[in-house]
Structure 1
């Protein structure tokens, strides 16, 4: 019982330390973020290390149960706010909210790098940038610089369905064929139409449920 209690305390301590470090430490890793996580993991695990099999299995089982409990608790709105936190606005109407980026331990260099990677080199082009509870940063550009979509031009676009792999590394994916309401006979007919006589020559092939088409990616001979 004492071992399980110790595991629970250390597990909760580890989560608390990660929350104090900020959400950016989870996904936007810098070298010092990575080292901090490694050290925290080592320090938290140190009291649990034991050469005997039974205590080790108890600890692993306790950690698994705790993980499941915390996952279930995160589905509740109240506990979700405690465990994951709330979204944080980093940029609003083209202006960086310095107080929030400091609170979330994100440097201006990191933030501007993330914007550039997503195709927005200018901060004033951003309507909102929001640090989500998952650690991801959602970027919403201003209306006048976002990409034009067919709906903006009044163009109706047909639904093409979800492309699903039906052949992967020369093997037929029967469950995927069933998902798109196709069968192996249909697949073999498509192969014959393309002059493919050996399925092993196909690296990848995908199709959708909306169209009677398939795209083959063949190995180079």
Structure 2
């Protein structure tokens, strides 16, 4: 019984408790983490795995729950204007109107060389192209270019583009996505008719990697057998498989 508790139940319980707590703490805790998110996740990870060594599962679970509750409380307080200035780090400006802000660079610990490299990653060759560059709370770089450096927008030509249409998956990995069919107020019979122009029937669903409903009201179908294998140099792919 002790063997089962120590080597089977304890690891499973540790995983389940950790998974549940991270779900309760929300997506923010595991997305782009701030310093506060990072320290909480590190402490939680250390605390929750402690019973694997010491066998004190109950005590470790209690501490982990308390840490998660403290995180949730502080996260809620950080949304309140009365506490936000104490709990949330403001963005740091490091480039303003094309000029490097040396004070801002020193504050975030970034050298000029590192700054130039980060800007190249964003697609800019010089700070002079940018109206504003800030380091956000989670450490990411935000770049706002001068108006003559940004991509051309439809509004520049007084054009109003159509709303963006998001293709709706109806078959994924050989399985019909029934809730999306329901969203379109259609059934499998309708799906079978939509597959006919692609020489498929409902019996061939397992062969379809992805089928999506497009803006024209038709299906785009991607199968497990590509149709462009004989297109010569257009079918090149990197590696040794050619």
TM-score by length of 1: 0.69
Question: Cα RMSD (Å) of the superposition?
Answer: 3.1
Cα shift at 1:211? 4.1
Cα distance per residue 1:3-51 (max 9 Å; x no partner)? xxxxxxxxxxxxxxxxxxxxxx958xxxxxxxxx89x948x948x9461
**What residue number does 2:167 align with?**
163
Cα shift at 1:95? 1.0
User: Could you tell me how far apart the structure 2 residues matched to 1:128 and 1:211 are?
Assistant: 40
Cα shift at 1:140? 0.9
List alignment gaps of at least 5 residues for structure 1: 1-24, 28-36
User: Could you tell me how far apart the structure 2 residues matched to 1:184 and 1:75 are?
Assistant: 46
**What residue number does 1:97 align with?**
101
User: Could you tell me how far apart the structure 1 residues matched to 2:211 and 2:104 are?
Assistant: 46
Contact 2:175-2:206 at 8 Å conserved across structures = yes
Cα shift at 1:179? 4.1
What secondary structure, in the 3-state scheme, does the structure 1 residue paired with 2:152 have? Answer: coil
User: Could you tell me how far apart the structure 1 residues matched to 2:140 and 2:165 are?
Assistant: 27
Cα distance per residue 1:147-190 (max 9 Å; x no partner)? 11222123332224223333221122223344455544433322
Cα distance per residue 1:52-88 (max 9 Å; x no partner)? 1221111111122122212222221333333331122
**What residue number does 2:198 align with?**
194
Contact 1:89-1:97 at 8 Å conserved across structures = yes
2:79 to 75, 80, 85: 75
The higher-RCO structure (CA 8 Å, 6+ apart) is: 1
Of residues 56-65 and 69-78 in structure 1, the stretch that sits farther from structure 2 once superposed is 69-78
Cα shift at 1:207? 2.9
CA distance change for structure 1 residues 82 and 176 in 2, over 3 Å: closer, same or farther?
farther
What secondary structure, in the 3-state scheme, does the structure 2 residue paired with 1:166 have? Answer: strand
**What residue number does 1:153 align with?**
157
Q: Which has the larger radius of gyration?
A: 2
**What residue number does 2:219 align with?**
214
- Does 2:96 correspond to 1:84? no
User: Could you tell me how far apart the structure 1 residues matched to 2:111 and 2:91 are?
Assistant: 17
User: Could you tell me how far apart the structure 1 residues matched to 2:186 and 2:141 are?
Assistant: 39
Cα shift at 1:129? 1.1
**What residue number does 2:147 align with?**
143
Of residues 155-164 and 135-144 in structure 1, the stretch that sits farther from structure 2 once superposed is 155-164
What secondary structure, in the 3-state scheme, does the structure 2 residue paired with 1:152 have? Answer: helix
Moved over 6 A (4+): none
Contact 1:84-1:134 at 8 Å conserved across structures = no
Q: What is the number of equivalent residue pairs in this alignment?
A: 185
TM-score by length of 2: 0.64
What secondary structure, in the 3-state scheme, does the structure 2 residue paired with 1:113 have? Answer: helix
What secondary structure, in the 3-state scheme, does the structure 1 residue paired with 2:73 have? Answer: helix
